[in-house]
Amino acid sequence: MKKLVISIIALVALGTSLGAQTESQVKFKLYGFIRNYAIFDSREVKAGTDDLYFYTPKDRSYTDEGKDLNDNASFRLLSLTTRLGVDITGFQYGGMKVTGKVEADFYNKSGSVAVLRMRQAYVGLGWDGLGLQGENSILLNIGQTWHPMAADLPHMVNLESGAPFTPFNRSPQIMFNYNMAKKATVTAGVIYGMQYLPTGPDGKSADYMKYGILPELYAGLTFKPAAGVVAKVGANLFSIKPRWKDANGSVSDRLTTVSPFVYIQYTGSNGFQIKAKSILAEAGEQMNLLSGYGVSKENTDGSWEYTPMRSTASFISAQYGKKWQIMGMIGYMKLLGTSEDLIDFGSRYWFNTSGSSNMRQMVRFTPTIAYNMGKLTLALEYNLTGTQFGSGMDSKGLVQNNLHWVFNSRILTMVKYNF
Quick one: pLDDT at residue 142?
A: 98
Overall average pLDDT of the 87-97 stretch: 94
**Per-residue confidence at 129, pLDDT binned at 50, 70, 90?**
confident
The DSSP annotation for 26-48 comes to -EEEEEEEEEEEEEEESS-EEEE
Q: How many Cβ atoms sit within 10 Å of the Cβ of residue 393?
A: 16
pLDDT at position 318 is 98
pLDDT, one tens digit per residue, over 267-322 is: 999 999 999 999 999 999 999 999 999 999 999 888 999 999 999 999 999 999 99
Beta-strand pair 27-41/83-93? antiparallel
Is residue 166 within 8 A of residue 178, CB to CB? The reply is: no
CA nearest 162: which of 337, 371, 368? Answer: 368
Q: Is there a contact between 208 and 198 (Cβ–Cβ < 8 Å)?
A: yes
Share of the chain above pLDDT 90, in %: 83
pLDDT of 5 over the 50 cut: no
Which residue from 192, 189, 304, 203 is spatially nearest to 245, judged by alpha carbons? 304
pLDDT in tens, 326-356: 999 999 999 999 999 999 877 899 999 999 9
Contact 175, 146 (CB under 8 A): no
Identify the weakest region by mean pLDDT among 14-18, 44-48, 316-320, 411-415: 14-18
Helices (H), 112-257: 207-210
Strand partners, 367: none
- CB contact at 8 A, 59 and 406: yes
Assign 7 a pLDDT band (cuts: 50, 70, 90).
very low
Query: Do the beta carbons of residue 253 and residue 286 sit within 8 Å?
Result: no
Domain 44-78+147-418 falls under CATH 3.30.70? no
Contacts of 307 (CB under 8 A, 6+ apart): 293, 294, 295, 296, 338, 339, 340, 341, 342
Nearest alpha carbon to residue 274 among 332, 227, 317: 317
pLDDT computed for residue 30 by the predictor: 97
Q: What pLDDT was estimated at residue 248?
A: 80
What pLDDT score does 17 carry?
Answer: 40
Q: Which of 33-37, 58-62, 300-304 bottoms out in mean pLDDT, i.e. has the lowest?
A: 300-304
Q: What is the mean pLDDT of residues 175-194?
A: 93
Q: Assess whether the previous peptide bond of 242 is cis (omega < 30° from 0).
A: no
In degrees to the nearest 10, what's the CA dihedral of 145, 150, 156, 157? -30
Alpha helices in 200-309 (DSSP H): 207-210
CA dihedral 84, 89, 91, 97 (to 10 degrees): 120
Query: pLDDT band at 15, cuts 50/70/90?
Result: very low
Q: Residue type for 281, please?
A: A
- Nearest CA-CA partner of 105 in 47, 154, 49: 49
Q: What pTM did the predictor assign?
A: 0.90
Q: What is the mean pLDDT of the chain?
A: 92
Instruction: Judge whether 354 and 290 are in contact, CB under 8 Å.
Output: yes
